[in-house]
Amino acid sequence: MNSSAGALPLLFACGLAMAQSDEPDAGGWAFAATLDGRPIGTHRFIVRGTPSSREVESRALLRVSVLGILVYRYAVAPPALPEKDPP
């Protein structure tokens, strides 16, 4: 059975649960990335804020080595943002 088939309804349900509250919240998902069944890294999504002001952060780090030599690297991180002045 394909395990990813059950993940979509779960992600959808989590999104609905988050959208029903006006309270600030934090949540997210973390995925293990594999290549031919071998782990090569992670990809994380972090959700913050209220339904009217959501912020999603994505971070990924993938590395593929062949015979101990790094042949592929993929890294994504949000840029540093300047701090906002208080209202």
Per residue in 8-21, pLDDT (tens digit) is 333 333 343 444 44
Determine the structural domain holding residue 75 and report its residue range.
26-79
Q: Is residue 36 situated within a structural domain?
A: yes
The structure's pTM equals 0.56
Q: Is residue 55 situated within a structural domain?
A: yes
Go through the chain and tell me how many residues it has.
87
Distance CA 32, CA 2 (A): 16
Q: Is residue 1 situated within a structural domain?
A: no
Q: Is residue 20 situated within a structural domain?
A: no
Q: Is residue 42 situated within a structural domain?
A: yes
Q: Is residue 2 situated within a structural domain?
A: no
Q: What is the tally of structural domains in the chain? A: 1
H-type helices in the chain, by residue range?
A: 7-19
Which band of pLDDT confidence, cut at 50, 70 and 90, is reported for residue 75? Answer: very high
